[in-house]
């Protein structure tokens, strides 16, 4: 299992290859990538991501441990960036490896649902119009209920 909270960009292909390498027991690898979405008006200049150093790493590790208890997983990878990002930049990725795809898919969805509402990150959208903190959505909180 690897958790990385980092400011610098990551290479999606290289990370996915490294994650898959040498694992002959897993028949399924699922990866999810989160990308900075532009505003509806197409004028997002910067997405600034703030986090809580120390708690972030612990919270993500706890979520990943929880996933490993619930599903039969060979490995888990979580990379999440902070700092200043531009539209189209990759914010984060999750990868899961399992013998069978159901475990890999479900665990990846679980990780995403929990990272969204339980990992201490906050996003601010900065455009020519000003800046706004992205508000948490009720549906993101509700998404946790299904687990």
Binding stretches for another protein (CB under 8 A): 34, 50, 52, 54-55, 58-59, 80, 91-92, 112, 115-124, 133-136, 141
Decide whether 74 or 79 has the Cβ nearer to another protein. Answer: 79
The label of the residue with tokens 């790493």 reads: 57
Q: Euclidean distance between the first and final Cα of the chain, in Å?
A: 21
User: Of 90, 78, 81, 83, which Cα lies nearest the Cα of 36?
Assistant: 90
Decide whether 58 or 102 has the Cβ nearer to another protein. Answer: 58
Query: How many CA atoms within 13 Å lie on the side-chain side of 86?
Result: 2
* Sign of the four-CA dihedral 34, 18, 26, 117: negative
**Minimum CB separation from another protein for residue 17, in Å?**
23
**Minimum CB separation from another protein for residue 94, in Å?**
9
φ, ψ of residue 24 to 5 degrees: the values are: -95, -5
SS3 46: strand
Decide whether 26 or 81 has the Cβ nearer to another protein. Answer: 81
**Minimum CB separation from another protein for residue 126, in Å?**
13
**Minimum CB separation from another protein for residue 28, in Å?**
22
Decide whether 33 or 45 has the Cβ nearer to another protein. Answer: 33
Decide whether 5 or 73 has the Cβ nearer to another protein. Answer: 5
SS3 content of the chain, % helix, strand, coil (to 5): 35, 35, 30
**Minimum CB separation from another protein for residue 27, in Å?**
27
């Amino acid at each position: 299992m690897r958790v990385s909270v980092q400011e610098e960009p990551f290479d999606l292909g290289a990370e996915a290859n490294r994650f898959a390498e040498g694992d002959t027991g897993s028949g399924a690898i699922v990866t999810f990538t989160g990308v900075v979405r532009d505003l509806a008006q197409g004028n997002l200049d910067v997405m600034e991501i703030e986090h809580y150093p120390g708690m972030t790493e612990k919270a993500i590790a706890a979520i990943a441990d929880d996933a490993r208890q619930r599903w039969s997983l060979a490995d888990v990878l979580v990379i999440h960036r902070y700092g200043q990002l531009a539209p189209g930049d990759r914010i984060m990725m999750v990868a899961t490896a399992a013998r069978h795809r159901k475990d890999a898919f479900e665990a990846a969805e679980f990780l995403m649902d929990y990272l969204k509402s339980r990992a201490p990150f906050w996003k601010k959208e900065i455009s020519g119009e000003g800046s706004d903190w992205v508000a948490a959505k009720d549906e993101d909180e509700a998404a946790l209920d299904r687990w």
